[in-house]
């Protein structure tokens, strides 16, 4: 009698253990395949939406290069960021891609203005310190500016 009930308990235990293992296996397969592809699709959709939103915002700014200063192996670039919309906007960061006299890319530098927001028509003056090697700094001839989120 004791052995029959013990057999039933062991039988129930192994059935439960098998069920738990199969549920964990199915959950693992789901999370590694289906959930991963859903997550990747969601991230791609968010990235696409963010890029289109950024392009809409970028048209609200006017960005112009002021000067390129080279001294003691260091490069500093100054730029002006102007709000050309009718709304108050947050300031953006600026990336300066530097080039030599032949148009070959040297490196990127980034900076931002001191202001947090810009009123319509307001200008933010941006100083960009380039952290380039001395040999790179000596070759800097021009720069192309682009906006970035800060």
Per-residue pLDDT of the chain (150 residues; tens, 9 = 90+): 567 777 888 888 888 888 889 889 888 887 777 766 766 766 776 666 555 555 556 678 889 999 999 988 899 999 999 999 888 888 888 999 999 999 999 999 999 888 888 899 999 999 999 989 989 999 999 999 998 876
Query: What number of other Cβ atoms are within 10 A of residue 134's Cβ?
Result: 9
Query: What number of other Cβ atoms are within 10 A of residue 142's Cβ?
Result: 14
What are the structure tokens assigned to 81, written together?
């960021």
Give the start-to-end residue ranges of the domains of the chain: 2-57, 61-148
3-state secondary structure of 137: helix
So what's the pLDDT on residue 36?
A: 67
Q: What is the CATH number of domain 61-148?
A: 2.60.40.10
What is the distance between the alpha carbons of residues 123 and 145, in angstroms, rounded to a whole number? 16
C-beta of residue 79 within 8 angstroms of C-beta of residue 123 = no
Judged on CB neighbours under 10 Å (0-12, 13-18, 19+), 77 is buried
Q: Which helix (H) or strand (E) holds 3?
A: helix 2-32
So what's the pLDDT on residue 117?
A: 86
3-state secondary structure of 11: helix
Q: What is the full DSSP assignment across 24-90?
A: HHHHHHHHHTHHHHHHHHHHHHHHHHHHHHHHHHHTTEEEEEEEEEEETTEEEEEEEEEE-SSS-EE
So what's the pLDDT on residue 56?
A: 58
């Amino acid at each position: 009698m004791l052995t029959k009930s013990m057999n039933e308990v062991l039988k129930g235990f192994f059935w439960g253990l098998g069920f738990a293992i199969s549920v964990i296996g199915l959950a693992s397969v789901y999370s590694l395949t289906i959930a991963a592809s859903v997550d990747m699709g969601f991230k791609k959709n968010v990235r696409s939406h963010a890029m289109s939103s950024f392009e809409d915002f970028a048209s609200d700014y006017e960005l112009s290069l002021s000067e390129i200063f080279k001294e003691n192996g260091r490069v500093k670039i100054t730029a002006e960021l102007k709000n050309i919309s009718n709304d108050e906007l947050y300031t953006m960061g600026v990336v300066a891609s530097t080039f030599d006299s032949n148009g070959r890319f040297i490196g990127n530098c980034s900076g931002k203005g001191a202001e947090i927001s810009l009123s319509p028509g307001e200008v933010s003056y941006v100083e960009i310190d380039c952290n380039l090697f001395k040999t790179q700094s000596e070759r800097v001839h021009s720069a192309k500016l682009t906006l970035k989120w800060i």
